[in-house]
Amino acid sequence: MVQGILAAVGLLGSLGLLFGIGLVIAGRFLRVEEDPRIAQVTESLPGANCGACGFSGCSGFARALIAGGAPVEGCRAGGDSTVQKLAAILGRSVGHTARRIARVLCGGDCHSAVQRARYDGVMDCRAADLVAGGPKGCPDGCLGLGSCVEACPFGALAIGPDGLPVVDEQRCTGCGLCELVCPRGVIQVMDAGASYVRCLSTLPGKQVRQVCRSGCIGCLICQRACDREAITVLDNLASIDPARCDGCGKCAEKCPTHCIVITPAPARVEPVRVGSGPA
Amino acid sequence: MKLLLLLISSALVNNIVLVRFLGTCPFLGTSRQMKTAVSMGLATTFVLVGAGVVTWIVDRAVLVPMQLSYLRTLAFILVIAVFVQFVEMVIRKANQALYEAFGIYLALITTNCAVLGLALMASNKAYDLAETAVFGVGTGLGFTLALVLMAGIREELAYTRVPKAFEGTALALTIAGLLSLAFMGFSGMVPI
């Protein structure tokens, strides 16, 4: 009995010891020298593993950065502070980078936009867009099914009560994952301080009027109202040059459809629903 | 001929996942995308063959002569854990790209009960070294096949409307059950 126990303990103990020694020796011979900066870089990154940099995770980005295959500004989620830290580790200098956040370039909410059909399929904007261009009257409008909300790893997006996504500016890191999934390109990451036009439609004004009360009708009123020539209307759609715009707000006042947003804008509405369709 | 039969038997007739119900955790966990399913399948096949051979040697060289066969399960767990660690080191040294492609899967295989199951079955059936190796290859192919089938179905299902109660794990388990029933149709074809 005792002999059996001793034999069992002895065998397993010696096997374990033998394997342990073997692994230690193997570890010596098979050790892979790794740049110590990789660990430093990985520590400086936010650790969100969001994949917005194009690599599988933060450690993948760190390795690529050290190997020279990724830019110092590659981590969009980390923002300016991370870029400065990475530049310090790599001994490079970078200028100040502006904070960037996601903006929703559509104002066609459930009150102002026309639905030309009732969509009854998979609750995903990409799937809805495949079905004859989606249920919305405007071919460039937000479908509001929340693919961007699903894609956001930081919980910065939610579908508001009026059926459009709302960006939580505090949480948004400007990683751009929402921008990638939106089939319409309605969400775009831009400088946090830049004013923008909340519409993407290039339809003639009359047609825009037929499908949406908040869309840009290309009337040129904003262009005329701007003293600094910051606004140009091209293809029936106004666009604002952030380099020239001083945020005076004259254009937004005169815009008949109120589709120009001057930033910093007040928070619009509290998000209430996530991932469901327009009411 | 016997080896060929053993190969077919272990891959299809006695499929490790769908007939013997071993290794179901990685089967459900890593079968959402075809790419990960193939990586996991190949990594597991490699470890199955290697661990089968190493455990066979430990069994015949140590356990049987010392009449300590009852320690098989414990000893095999030890051997498999060490073997996977060693393989991880070798791959990392020899081929960094392959190491990164395997990623977390290689470490996960340590806890895959299909590997221990294969080692124990091989010693219970008293296979010789060649048979154990073929048994490992066949089992690995069967595991990969199950994963690839599952991943293919789940990729298609991503754009399908599914009743609320069936979404996610419930549907995965239902599909796994149906696949298993299909594979049960092979039973008795190879008498091994």
Q: How does pLDDT run across B102-140, given as a tens digit for each residue?
A: 767 777 788 888 999 999 999 999 999 999 999 999 999
pLDDT at A269 over 50: no
Using one digit for the tens of pLDDT, what is the confidence trace for A250-264? 899 899 999 999 886
* Residue for token pair 């809805």: A128
pLDDT at A206 over 80: yes
- Residue A268: pLDDT band with limits 50, 70, 90: very low
Beta carbons of A261 and A252 less than 8 angstroms apart: yes
**CB pair distance less than 8 Å for B161 and A7:** no
H or E, element range at A188: strand A187-191
Beta carbons of A106 and A81 less than 8 angstroms apart: no
pLDDT at A278 over 50: no
Predicted complex ipTM: 0.74
**CB pair distance less than 8 Å for A12 and B78:** yes
Using one digit for the tens of pLDDT, what is the confidence trace for A77-115? 887 788 888 888 888 777 666 788 899 999 998 888 988
Tell me the three state secondary structure of residue A178: helix
- Distance of alpha carbon A99 from its chain centroid, rounded? 13
Q: Which candidate from B58, B82, B92 shows the least CB-CB separation from A32?
A: B92
Chain A residue with the nearest C-alpha to that of B101: A56
Chain A residue with the nearest C-alpha to that of B73: A12
**Nearest to residue B114, comparing CAs of B191, B40, B178?**
B40
- DSSP for A89-143 reads HHT--------EEEEE-----TTTBPBSS---S-S-HHHHHHTTT-SBSSTTS--
- DSSP for chain B reads -HHHHHHHIIIIIT-TTTTT--SHHHHHHT-SSHHHHHHHHHHHHHHHHHHHHHHHHHIIIIITTTT-GGGHHHHHHHHHHHHHHHHHHHHHHH-HHHHHHHTHHHHHGGG-HHHHHHHHHHHHTT--HHHHHHHHHHHHHHHHHHHHHHHHHHHHHTTS---GGGTTHHHHHHHHHHHHHHHHTTTTSS--
Higher pLDDT: A80 or A165? It is A165
Tell me whether residue B49 is exposed, middle or buried, using C-beta atoms within 10 angstroms of its C-beta: 0 to 12, 13 to 18, 19 or more. buried
Q: Calculate mean pLDDT across residues A229-245.
A: 89
**Nearest to residue A147, comparing CAs of A132, A129, A131, A169?**
A129
**CB pair distance less than 8 Å for A30 and B161:** no
Q: From residue B51, how far is each of B72, B107, B111, B184 by CA, in Å?
A: 13, 14, 13, 27
What is the pTM (predicted TM-score) of this model?
Answer: 0.58
B86 and chain A in contact, CB less than 8 A: yes
- Rounded to 5°, angle at Cα A149 from A143 and A151: 110
Binding residues of A for [4Fe-4S] cluster: 50, 53, 58, 75, 138, 142, 148, 152, 172, 175, 178, 182
Q: Calculate mean pLDDT across residues A46-69.
A: 81
Tell me the three state secondary structure of residue A54: coil
Torsion of CA A80, A85, A91, A95, to 10 degrees: 20
Higher pLDDT: A14 or A74? It is A14
Instruction: Give per-residue burial for B102-119: e unless 16+ CB within 10 Å, then b.
Output: bbebbebbbebebbbbbb
Torsion of CA A66, A70, A75, A79, to 10 degrees: 90
Binding residues of A: 50, 53, 58, 75, 138, 142, 148, 152, 172, 175, 178, 182
pLDDT at A276 over 70: no
Amino acid at A132: A
Chain pair A-B, CB pairs under 8 angstroms: 48
Using one digit for the tens of pLDDT, what is the confidence trace for B38-78? 888 888 898 999 999 999 999 999 888 988 888 899 999 99
Q: Calculate mean pLDDT across residues B20-25.
A: 89
Beta carbons of B66 and A7 less than 8 angstroms apart: yes
Mean pLDDT score across all residues of chain A: 85
Q: What is the largest CA-CA distance in chain A?
A: 100
C-alpha span between A253 and B136 (Å, rounded): 74
**CB pair distance less than 8 Å for A11 and B161:** no
pLDDT at B192 over 80: no
Q: Calculate mean pLDDT across residues A217-223.
A: 91
HSE of A215 in the Cβ direction (CA atoms, 13 Å)? 29
